[in-house]
A and B are shown apart, each in its own frame.
Chain A
Amino acid sequence: MDNTPLLVYFLVLLGALVIQTPVISGPWFFLLRAFFPNWKFFHAVGHVPHLFVRFSPNHADWSDWTHIYPRELRRLQHLIHNPQTNLVLTQQNLVEHLANDLNQLPDGADARSLVSYALVAHWVQILGRTLAPQGTHCQFEVRMVLPGLHGPLEQDTMLVSPVMPCL
Chain B
Amino acid sequence: MPLSLGARWLEWLLCLSLLIQTLEYLRLLPALADDGYAPWRLQRADIPQAWIRRVLDVLFTSAALRAQLLLRLVVLALIALQGSSLGLVMFLFISHLLILIRWRGAFNGGSDFMTLVALTGLLIVHSVALAGNPALGWRAGLWYVCLQSVTSYFVSGWVKLLQPQWRSGKAMPIFLECAVYGPLAPGHVLRHPLLGRLGAWAFIVWECCSPLALWHPLAAWAFCAVALVFHFLVFWFFGLNRFFWAWLVSFPAILACSAQGIF
Residues of A within 8 A of B (CB): 1, 3, 6, 9-10, 13-14, 17-18, 27-28, 30-35, 37-45, 48, 70-74, 78-83, 85-91, 93-94, 97, 115, 118-119, 122-123, 126, 147-151, 167
Contacts and interface: CB of A to CB of B under 8 A. Distances in A.
Interface stretch (B64-72, B128-136, B146-154): B146-154
A114 B92 CA distance: 31
CB-based closest 10 A-B pairs: A37-B113, A39-B155, A85-B239, A43-B159, A83-B24, A39-B152, A83-B27, A74-B181, A82-B241, A31-B105
16 contacts: A1-B260, A3-B262, A37-B113, A39-B110, A39-B152, A43-B160, A44-B163, A44-B165, A45-B165, A72-B180, A78-B235, A81-B23, A85-B180, A85-B241, A115-B42, A122-B42
Contacts of B217: none
A118 B46 CA distance: 11
Given A37-B110, A80-B241, A87 B105 contact: no
B100 to A, nearest CB: 6
Interface of B: 20, 23-24, 27-28, 31, 35-39, 42-43, 45-48, 97, 100-101, 103-110, 112-114, 116-117, 147, 151-152, 154-156, 158-160, 162-163, 165-166, 170-171, 173-175, 177-178, 180-182, 191, 211, 214, 232, 235-236, 239-242, 244, 260-263
Nearest to A35: B116
Given A10-B154, A39-B156, A87-B28, A34 B105 contact: yes
Contacts of B170: 45, 149
A149 B177 contact: yes
B239 A74 contact: yes
A126 B231 CA distance: 34
Contact of A147 (B36, B117, B178): B178
Contacts of B42: 115, 118-119, 122
B44 to A, nearest CB: 9
Contacts of B166: 43
B109 A93 contact: yes
Instruction: Decide if the interface of chain B is mainly helix, strand, loop or mixed.
Output: helix
B241 A31 contact: no
Given A6-B211, A43-B159, A78 B151 contact: no
Contacts of B28: 83, 86-87
B147 A9 contact: yes
Contact of B31 (A3, A87, A93, A148): A87
A17 B158 contact: yes
A133 B108 CA distance: 30
A3 B263 contact: yes
Contacts of B165: 44-45
A80 B20 contact: yes
Nearest to A48: B178
A95 B86 CA distance: 38
Contact of A72 (B23, B31, B110, B239): B239
Nearest to B37: A123
Contact of A45 (B155, B174, B244): B174
Nearest to A37: B113
B260 A115 contact: no
A22 B240 CA distance: 30
A45 B168 CA distance: 12
A35 B93 CA distance: 12
A3 B110 CA distance: 28
Contacts of A30: 46, 104-105
Contacts of A118: 42, 45
Contact of A41 (B31, B106, B110, B182): B110
